[in-house]
């Protein structure tokens, strides 16, 4: 599978009203790797991530130019079915957003709306992905309790399980550990590292050490511009752009 | 001198702060004192549950009026709650911003129109509509002055209350939660139904209860279109006689018959207590919702 | 590409569309009902609307369809609403200041006071009318402008108070502290900083309360009386627009009912004006307030 590019971003520009937040970004995201997007606050990381599954569509005053090609299909083409695009990607947000329902229902929600109805299939799927997210043992006896009773770290893993349960190809994480304690953060990081065998992972972070730990491929975004990208080891070892070097050494943040 | 002024101001303000509680107490106590004349001689249950209303014979059964109010209010809510919630869903979940912003003055204006204006409009349009269109459709005869006419007018008056509160409840649902559902491939409606409505369920309940308590006490508009016949109504096309209308039509002129006066005060007391009960209930729910959101 | 998943997707998208249309239709219905009300009232009022209606008091036989206007009711309503709003304002401003300056955010007293204000806000206007009547008798007053003002002021008080409270709660804490730390007493802070800062918002609240006061009928039904003359003192009875509409509509004569429509149009226009003024104010309010 190596060498494939499930997502290819071509000359993507995003505007909020008059403010251009992404400037002509082009990036090929490698399959079965963890791609980490780094950059200072406000540089457009979240915007880039949201543009990948068209979550920007409903934001007021947004204009999007350029293409995002997913499995050979331009997701912004008029005929593209947005729910199908989104189903192909699981999103982990900055703080875990559990749906107002039970633990079980949270995971079953996605499969159910996509047509999985049979009780046993649902049960199996919920158990499987809770296992994958490393949460099963902690919650198997209280699946019917509201998801909000879980700790924040558990909630984030629940969101991971929920995203995986619709069987996406790609996992998007927007600073998925920023609300978590160090222990839970490590737990989630470990899950992501395991998941890259089966999925393509894109993670946004502003924690450089985390980027070093998990990144296979690195993209540095600065003021809406994609300054540098390449295999993580190369970029960390020998950044070509002075701005990247400054950021990696902590001179700009 | 400056400090003295400050101290004085503080005193005065402390007094003013007690005013709201005092007023609530005074209103309830005042109405109670005035209704004592009849509460002393007639058992409360008889006042509330008898439908014999013959003031000159000294019979003051409030049942027709209580049922009249309940019928009109329930009719209004059955019409207003679904429409208001759907309208709020549209404004909050589907509509572009300019529509949402443009809708605000409409809702405000609807809330600000005086009840007599609603009443006049009801007499011009709703009453003939009920009498000449809806009643024949339902195969009954009706003058149009009916529970249904009152319910329709009252429903429109209740829109702004329910829409306003529901919009606030929806606005308190974080966008990230909607995004979470959408990014699983859910449609807007699926997201609204399973996430937004579920998260806001209590707040919407509160909005409806608040609407109920507003509608229950509405006087003039309903009075003008509901027919005012003191009998327990049997269908939506019958005339009714709500409590507030009873008070408005007769109070102040009945000083000559003391027990009549007291009976009307009892009606006002009952009305106040019911409205306050639902009002407080709605506030409690809202406070709980607000606390949970933080 | 025509598998069960696609069929299902089609159904889901149809459901989405269905509810989108249903929700939009409901919103349209709300808008439409406002247009319908305004349209009907204005349309029906055209035959009877005239300038002399605004400048004349009812002449002999007015309620049988003869000469005259509703100046008595317009003037009465304005006097009444101005008086009541002024009185309500005198009570509301100190209370709102008290809630926001003397009491901290988590104060129990403030929470309870707000709760009782909400309770008062929910009391039906007919109950204020009955209560006002009791007070009136207790004070030995007759149905008069004064009694009407007192009653309507009670009705407006919670509305105005909550409106002022809302804008004052938005004033940033630092502003209050900045003034305090300059050695100003609370009283000075209150007037120099808070009131000036929130003035446009307060005015919007005043207009809102004024609109409520001028449009309410049930509270003045027993307390303000009714007369064909423009009141000249607080002890005179006063006619009001809502009641004039109500009484005119209650006559069996079509000409008089026409006048009820025209009077309703006048009242509606007054309310529209107030609401427009309020909008303009609140737009200004958001511009001037230090964020
Ligand atoms: N809905 C919006 N409307 C207008 N401007 C926006 C909106 N969302 C984001 N922006 C602006 O776009 C820019 C990029 O925002 P974005 O959230 O993508 O940054 P980020 O890199 O994710 O920052 P952070 O690390 O703080 O999360 C910022 O300047 C932000 O103010
Ligand atoms: Mg971000």
Has residue A66 been placed in a domain? no
What does CATH list as the number for C52-288? 1.10.3720.10
> Which tops the pLDDT comparison, B183 or B17?
B183
The whole-number average pLDDT for the span C17-36 is 96
pLDDT at B107 over 50: yes
pLDDT at C168 over 60: yes
Has residue A5 been placed in a domain? no
Domain ranges of chain C: 2-45, 52-288
What the block records as the tokens of A134 is 């490393």
Give residue A120's pLDDT: 95
Determine whether the shortest distance from the Cβ of A155 to ligand 1 is under 6 A: no
What number of CA atoms fall less than 13 Å from residue B230's CA on the CB side?
A: 18
Count of domains for chain A: 1
Instruction: State the pLDDT confidence band at A1, using cuts at 50, 70 and 90.
Output: very low
Instruction: State the pLDDT confidence band at A22, using cuts at 50, 70 and 90.
Output: very high
Among all bound ligands, the one having the nearest atom to the CA of A50 is 1
> d(Cα C291, Cα C286) in Å, to the nearest integer?
9
What the block records as the tokens of A186 is 């490590």
- Model's pTM, two decimal places? 0.91
Give residue A180's pLDDT: 85
The whole-number average pLDDT for the span C214-229 is 88
What the block records as the tokens of C210 is 């004024």
CA C46 to chain centre: 26
What the block records as the tokens of C143 is 């149905």
> d(Cα B230, Cα B68) in Å, to the nearest integer?
9
- Closest chain B residue to A81 measured between Cα atoms? B185
Nearest CA to ligand 1 atom 3: A16
pLDDT at B12 over 90: no
pLDDT at C225 over 80: yes
pLDDT at C290 over 50: no
- Whether chain A has a CB inside 8 Å of the CB on B199: the answer is yes
pLDDT at A253 over 90: no
The neighbouring-strand residues paired with A230 are A218
Nearest CA to ligand 1 atom 30: A42
Tens-place pLDDT, residues A136-186: 999 999 999 999 999 999 999 999 999 999 999 999 999 998 888 888 889
A72 contacts A16 by C-beta, under 8 angstroms: no
Give residue B231's pLDDT: 87
> d(Cα A235, Cα A229) in Å, to the nearest integer?
7
- Largest separation between any pair of C-alpha atoms in chain C: 86
A22 Cα–ligand 1 center, Å: 10
Nearest CA to ligand 1 atom 2: A16
Q: Could you tell me whether strands A89-92 and A73-74 are parallel, antiparallel, or unpaired per DSSP bridges?
A: unpaired
Tens-place pLDDT, residues A201-219: 999 998 899 999 999 999 9
Q: Could you tell me whether strands A217-222 and A34-38 are parallel, antiparallel, or unpaired per DSSP bridges?
A: parallel
> Which tops the pLDDT comparison, B152 or B61?
B152
C240 contacts C225 by C-beta, under 8 angstroms: no
Q: What percentage of chain B exceeds 90 in pLDDT?
A: 64
- From chain C, the residues in CB contact with A113 under 8 A are 12
Determine whether the shortest distance from the Cβ of A59 to ligand 1 is under 6 A: yes
C interface mutation test: which of B20, B212, B265 has the most C CBs within 10 A? B20
Give residue C1's pLDDT: 46
The whole-number average pLDDT for the span B96-101 is 90
- Whether chain C has a CB inside 8 Å of the CB on A81: the answer is yes
Domain ranges of chain B: 2-46, 63-293
The whole-number average pLDDT for the span C100-115 is 79
Give residue A207's pLDDT: 87
**Cα–Cα distances in angstroms (integers) from residue B40 to residues A144, B33, B37, B47, B254, in the given order:** 55, 11, 6, 11, 19
A111: domain range? 97-167
B interface mutation test: which of A82, A111, A113 has the most B CBs within 10 A? A113
Tens-place pLDDT, residues B173-230: 999 999 999 999 999 999 999 999 999 999 999 999 999 998 999 989 999 999 988 8
Has residue A126 been placed in a domain? yes
B&C contacts, CB < 8 Å: 263
Segment of A248-252, B286-290, C204-208 carrying the highest mean pLDDT: C204-208
Tens-place pLDDT, residues A84-123: 899 999 899 888 999 999 999 999 999 999 999 999 999 9
pLDDT at B104 over 70: yes
> Which tops the pLDDT comparison, C76 or C180?
C76
The whole-number average pLDDT for the span B73-98 is 96
> At the fourth CATH level, which superfamily is domain B63-293?
MetI-like (1.10.3720.10)
Give me Rg for the CA atoms of chain A: 18
B167 Cα–ligand 2 center, Å: 27
Burial of A232 (0-12, 13-18, 19+ CB in 10 A): buried
Nearest CA to ligand 1 atom 4: A16
Has residue A161 been placed in a domain? yes
Q: What percentage of chain B exceeds 70 in pLDDT?
A: 96
C50 contacts C67 by C-beta, under 8 angstroms: no
pLDDT at C291 over 50: no
Has residue A113 been placed in a domain? yes
A247 contacts A38 by C-beta, under 8 angstroms: yes
């Amino acid at each position: 599978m190596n060498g494939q590019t499930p997502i290819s971003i071509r000359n993507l520009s995003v505007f909020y009203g008059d403010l251009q937040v992404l400037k002509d970004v082009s990036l090929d995201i490698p399959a079965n790797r963890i791609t980490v997007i780094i950059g200072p606050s406000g540089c457009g990381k979240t915007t880039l991530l949201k543009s990948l599954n068209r979550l920007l569509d409903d934001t007021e005053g947004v204009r999007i130019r350029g293409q995002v090609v997913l499995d050979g299909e331009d997701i912004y083409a008029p005929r593209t079915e947005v729910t199908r695009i989104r189903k192909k990607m699981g999103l982990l947000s900055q703080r875990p957003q559990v749906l107002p329902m039970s633990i079980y229902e949270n995971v079953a929600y996605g499969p159910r709306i996509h047509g999985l109805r049979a009780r046993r299939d649902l049960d199996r799927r919920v158990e499987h992905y809770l296992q994958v997210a490393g949460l099963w043992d902690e919650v198997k006896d209280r699946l019917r309790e509201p998801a909000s009773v879980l700790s924040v770290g558990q909630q984030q893993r629940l969101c991971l399980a929920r995203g995986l349960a619709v069987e996406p190809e790609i996992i998007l994480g927007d600073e998925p550990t920023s609300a978590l304690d160090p222990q839970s953060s490590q737990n989630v990081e470990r899950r992501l590292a395991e998941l890259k065998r089966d999925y393509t992972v894109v993670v946004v972070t502003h924690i450089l050490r985390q980027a070093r730990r998990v990144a296979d491929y690195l993209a540095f975004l600065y003021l809406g511009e994609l300054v540098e990208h390449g295999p993580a080891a190369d970029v960390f070892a020998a950044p070509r752009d002075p701005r990247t070097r400054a950021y990696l050494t902590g001179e700009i943040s | 001198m400056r400090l003295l002024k400050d101290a004085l101001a503080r005193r005065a303000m402390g007094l003013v702060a007690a005013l709201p509680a005092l007023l609530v107490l005074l209103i309830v106590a005042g109405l109670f004192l005035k209704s004592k004349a009849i509460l002393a001689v007639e058992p409360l249950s008889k006042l509330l549950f008898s439908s014999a209303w013959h003031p000159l014979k000294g019979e003051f059964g409030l049942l027709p009026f209580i049922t009249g109010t309940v019928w009109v209010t329930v009719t209004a809510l059955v019409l207003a709650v679904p429409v208001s919630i759907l309208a709020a869903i549209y404004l909050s979940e589907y509509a572009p911003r300019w529509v949402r912003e443009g809708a605000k003055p409409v809702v405000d204006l609807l809330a600000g129109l005086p009840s007599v204006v609603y009443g006049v409009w009801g007499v011009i349009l709703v009453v003939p509509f009920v009498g000449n269109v809806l009643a024949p459709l339902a195969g009954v005869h009706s003058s149009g002055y009916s529970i249904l006419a009152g319910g329709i007018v009252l429903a429109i008056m209740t829109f702004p209350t329910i829409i306003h509160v529901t919009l606030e409840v929806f606005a308190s649902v974080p966008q990230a939660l909607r995004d979470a559902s959408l990014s699983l491939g859910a449609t807007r409606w699926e997201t609204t139904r399973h996430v937004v409505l579920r998260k806001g369920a209590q707040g919407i309940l509160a909005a409806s209860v608040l609407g109920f308590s507003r509608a229950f006490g509405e006087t003039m508009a309903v009075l003008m279109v509901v027919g005012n016949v003191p009998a327990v109504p049997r269908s939506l096309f019958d005339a009714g006689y709500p409590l507030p209308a009873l008070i408005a039509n007769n109070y102040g002129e009945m000083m000559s018959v003391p027990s009549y006066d007291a009976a009307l005060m009892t009606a006002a007391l009952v009305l106040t207590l019911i409205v306050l009960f639902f009002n407080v209930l709605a506030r409690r729910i809202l406070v709980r919702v607000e606390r949970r959101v933080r | 590409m025509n598998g069960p998943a696609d069929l299902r997707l089609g159904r889901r998208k149809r459901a989405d569309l269905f509810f989108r249309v249903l929700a939009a239709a409901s919103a349209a219905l709300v808008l439409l009902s406002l247009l319908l009300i305004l349209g009907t009232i204005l349309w029906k009022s055209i035959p009877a609307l005239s300038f002399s209606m605004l400048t004349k008091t009812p002449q002999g036989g007015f309620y049988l369809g003869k000469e005259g206007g509703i100046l008595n009711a317009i003037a009465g309503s304005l006097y009444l609403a101005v008086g009541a709003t002024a009185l309500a304002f005198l009570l509301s401003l100190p209370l709102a200041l008290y809630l926001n300056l003397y009491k901290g955010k988590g104060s129990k007293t403030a929470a309870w006071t707000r709760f009782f204000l909400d309770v008062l806000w929910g009391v039906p206007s007919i109950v204020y009318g009955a209560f006002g009547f009791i007070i009136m008798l207790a004070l030995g007053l007759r149905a008069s402008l004064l009694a009407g003002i007192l009653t309507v002021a009670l009705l407006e008080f919670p509305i105005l108070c909550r409106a002022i409270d809302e804008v004052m709660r938005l004033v940033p804490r630092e502003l209050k502290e900045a003034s305090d730390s300059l050695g100003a007493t609370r009283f000075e802070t209150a007037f120099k900083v808070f009131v000036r800062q929130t003035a446009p918002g307060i005015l919007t609240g005043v207009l809102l309360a004024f609109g409520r006061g001028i449009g309410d009928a049930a509270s003045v039904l027993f307390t303000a009386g009714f007369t064909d003359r423009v009141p000249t003192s607080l002890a005179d009875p006063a006619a009001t627009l809502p009641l004039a509409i109500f009484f005119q509509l209650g006559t069996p004569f079509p000409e008089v009912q026409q006048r009820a429509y025209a009077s309703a149009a006048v009242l509606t226009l007054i309310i529209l004006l107030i609401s427009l003024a309020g909008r303009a104010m609140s737009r200004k309010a958001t511009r001037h307030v230090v964020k």
